[in-house]
């Protein structure tokens, strides 16, 4: 019974958008490509990085309102340490969200 309740809570959190704030990870990758996908009147910034796709969207409760600047700052062919939150859910076309990045200089 406890497992069913836990699964239900996790599913509710994921469906209400709370998943965007969970599961923070640091990943090192090279940007392969980037593009903008339009959903109705909303733009989603997408980044291809070492065979994974990430998005860049504002997160109200994190105080993150600089998605356009983050997108513009990431350059193709450069290597970065990125900080992401959220989960990759292919069946819902959900991607992890890039919240910060730092370029890794090649020596």
Alpha-carbon span 6 to 1, nearest angstrom: 9
Residue 87, pLDDT above cutoff 70: yes
Alpha-carbon span 86 to 92, nearest angstrom: 13
Tell me the pLDDT tens digit for each residue of 31-50.
999 999 998 888 899 999 99
**Domain spanning 2-103: which superfamily?**
Nucleic acid-binding proteins (2.40.50.140)
Averaged pLDDT score across all residues of the chain: 87
For the whole model, what pTM was predicted? 0.78
Phi and psi of 16, rounded to 5°? -95, 5
Tell me which of 15 and 98 has the higher pLDDT. 98
Task: Return the DSSP state at 75.
Answer: -
**Domain residue ranges of the chain, discontinuous segments joined by +:** 2-103
């Amino acid at each position: 019974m406890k497992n069913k309740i836990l699964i239900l809570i996790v599913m509710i959190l994921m469906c209400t958008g709370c998943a965007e704030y969970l599961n923070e990870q640091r990943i090192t990758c090279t940007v392969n490509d980037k593009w903008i996908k339009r959903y109705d009147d909303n733009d989603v910034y997408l980044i291809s990085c070492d065979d994974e796709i990430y998005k860049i969207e504002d997160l109200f409760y994190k105080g993150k309102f600089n998605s356009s600047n983050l997108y513009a700052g990431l350059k193709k062919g450069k290597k970065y340490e990125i900080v992401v939150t959220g989960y990759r859910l292919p069946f819902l076309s959900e991607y992890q969200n890039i919240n910060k990045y730092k370029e890794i200089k090649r020596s």
